[in-house]
A and B are shown apart, each in its own frame.
Chain A
Amino acid sequence: MRLTKISAMAFAALIAGAGVATADESAELSIEGKTIPTRAEAPAYLENIDEVISGWVYRSDETQTLQADDFDNPAFVFVDTGADLFAEADGSAGKSCKDCHENVEDFAGLTTTLPRVNEAGELETLTDLVNECRTERMGAEPWKYSGTQMTAVTALIGLQSRGMPVNVAVDGPAAPFWEKGKELYYTRVGQLDLACANCHEDNYGNMIRADRLSQGQINGFPTYRLKNAKLNSVHGRFKGCMTNVRATPYKEGSDEFEALELYVASRGNGLAIETPSVRN
């Protein structure tokens, strides 16, 4: 068994060029003794793929290991900051999140359903919900979309759903947003003229220079990246991928990125929430 794994890895390294850290794609993710499924049957509306797969599967053994233990996972430093912020009074009402949301555990399940359409017919993300409480209920300034405070608190809230399957609504009032997100996903952009689908649907599992392409799932966000040693937001990642193909990215928090977030989340329906995940 051991031998087969080594020779398979050596072969992968050979075809991919020297010195590539190979991922063990058959590894299982278990955190604090709890198994977290990293694959699920694809929802019917995904015409071109049969299985949805967590980005964790494609990372190197070292990166995979970091996420498998909360003590080693560097994201937890930020989750702790999130817990402090959650209990800290701010704004003209002199209130903290905790004053109204006594147990952060009560948010369990919330992020499996986000983004979602509210009663006013607007698409809302977790970031929108948090900032709505800050501006409408606390009399505080909104937090910056990808700022330290926002990513810390959204990681804390997301963690409460870890292990629960993603289940965003794609029909009913969500349908027009979902369609718009789908169109963005398949539209080629930038000087390199590439769509999300070219890399994350047609080529997941393949090396693109030094990186192994995943399906570009967002079930682990916010994500701690070794590259910048901080938590990264969903829209921050979208922005990075667009810039890499030399496209002008949409703005974080824009209607376009929110619609894309809904569509990308729906491509992971059935996968378990892994917040906060670790990536390179």
Chain B
Amino acid sequence: MKHALYGLVVIAATATVAMAAETAPTDVKFEDGAVGASLGPAGDAANGRKVFANRKLGNCLACHVNSDLAEQPFHGEVGPPLDGVADRWSEAELRGIVVNAKNLFEGTIMPAFYISEGYNRPLKDFAGTPVLTAQEVEDVVAYLMTLKEQ
């Protein structure tokens, strides 16, 4: 019992620290579709790879072929293949694309993964929240930066 309570306090404390260091979705600064500054947390490419494939998180494979994830069965073809994407875009541009691709690709089908407003009729459980956390966005960006062909 004591242990469980202690655990809770620690989690709450770390959560507060993490929150303070993060840029909120409404505070992200765009320049020509790119976001230069990290959202706060350091990106972890290995976790980004998981977020990319996870149907409940990035689900990027729904629309993109990615040879690096060949072990995952179904890759969509709605968007372009992401092989070598880090050769085509800078880190700041990739962060901009993940946060809100509509700034770079007007009218795109690609969802914005880090906005908390501006969408209609969200399901109650998702209202006011972004699809990914700041940590997950940075993880995905770090992962995308590993997708090089040259």
**Contact residues of A with B, CB < 8 Å?**
15-20, 187-194, 198-199, 202-203, 206-210, 213, 242-243, 246-248
Whether the pair B73, A19 counts as a contact (CB closer than 8 A) is: yes
- Contacts A18-B70, A206-B76 known; A190 to B55 CB distance under 8 Å? no
Q: Beyond the given A191-B119, A210-B73, A247-B123, please list 5 additional residue pairs across the A-B interface where CB-CB is below 8 A.
A: A18-B73, A189-B119, A191-B129, A194-B111, A209-B63
Enumerate chain A residues within 8 angstroms of B76, measured Cβ to Cβ. 16, 206-209
- Binary interface encoding of chain B residues 111-138 relative to chain A, with 1 for a CB under 8 A from any of its CBs, else 0: 1100000111111101101010000000
Enumerate chain B residues within 8 angstroms of A202, measured Cβ to Cβ. 109
Whether the pair B74, A248 counts as a contact (CB closer than 8 A) is: no
Interface positions, chain B 54-92, Cβ under 8 Å from A, are: 55, 59, 61-63, 65, 70, 72-78
- Contacts A190-B122, A206-B77, A210-B73 known; A15 to B65 CB distance under 8 Å? yes
Whether the pair B122, A16 counts as a contact (CB closer than 8 A) is: no
Nearest first, the 7 A-B pairs at minimum CB distance are: A17-B75, A210-B74, A209-B62, A191-B126, A192-B111, A198-B109, A191-B122
Enumerate chain A residues within 8 angstroms of B74, measured Cβ to Cβ. 16-17, 19-20, 207, 209-210
What are 24 residue pairs bridging A and B, where the CB atoms are less than 8 Å apart in the complex? A16-B75, A16-B77, A17-B65, A17-B70, A19-B74, A190-B123, A191-B111, A191-B126, A193-B112, A193-B119, A199-B109, A206-B76, A206-B77, A206-B78, A207-B75, A207-B77, A209-B61, A209-B62, A210-B73, A247-B120, A247-B121, A247-B123, A248-B123, A248-B124
Q: Which residue of A lies closest to B73 (CB)?
A: A19
Enumerate chain B residues within 8 angstroms of A190, measured Cβ to Cβ. 119-123, 126
The majority secondary structure among interface residues of chain A is loop
- Contacts A17-B65, A191-B131, A193-B111 known; A246 to B122 CB distance under 8 Å? yes
Size bracket, chain B contacts: 20 to 34
Whether the pair B119, A243 counts as a contact (CB closer than 8 A) is: no
**Contact residues of B with A, CB < 8 Å?**
55, 59, 61-63, 65, 70, 72-78, 109, 111-112, 118-124, 126-127, 129, 131
**A248 contacts which of B65, B70, B75, B122 (Cβ < 8 Å)?**
B122
Q: Which residue of B lies closest to A250 (CB)?
A: B121
Whether the pair B62, A208 counts as a contact (CB closer than 8 A) is: yes
Whether the pair A243, B63 counts as a contact (CB closer than 8 A) is: no
Whether the pair A194, B62 counts as a contact (CB closer than 8 A) is: no
- Contacts A15-B65, A194-B109, A202-B109 known; A208 to B120 CB distance under 8 Å? no
Enumerate chain B residues within 8 angstroms of A18, measured Cβ to Cβ. 70, 73
Whether the pair B77, A246 counts as a contact (CB closer than 8 A) is: no
Bound Cα distance A260, B111 (Å): 23
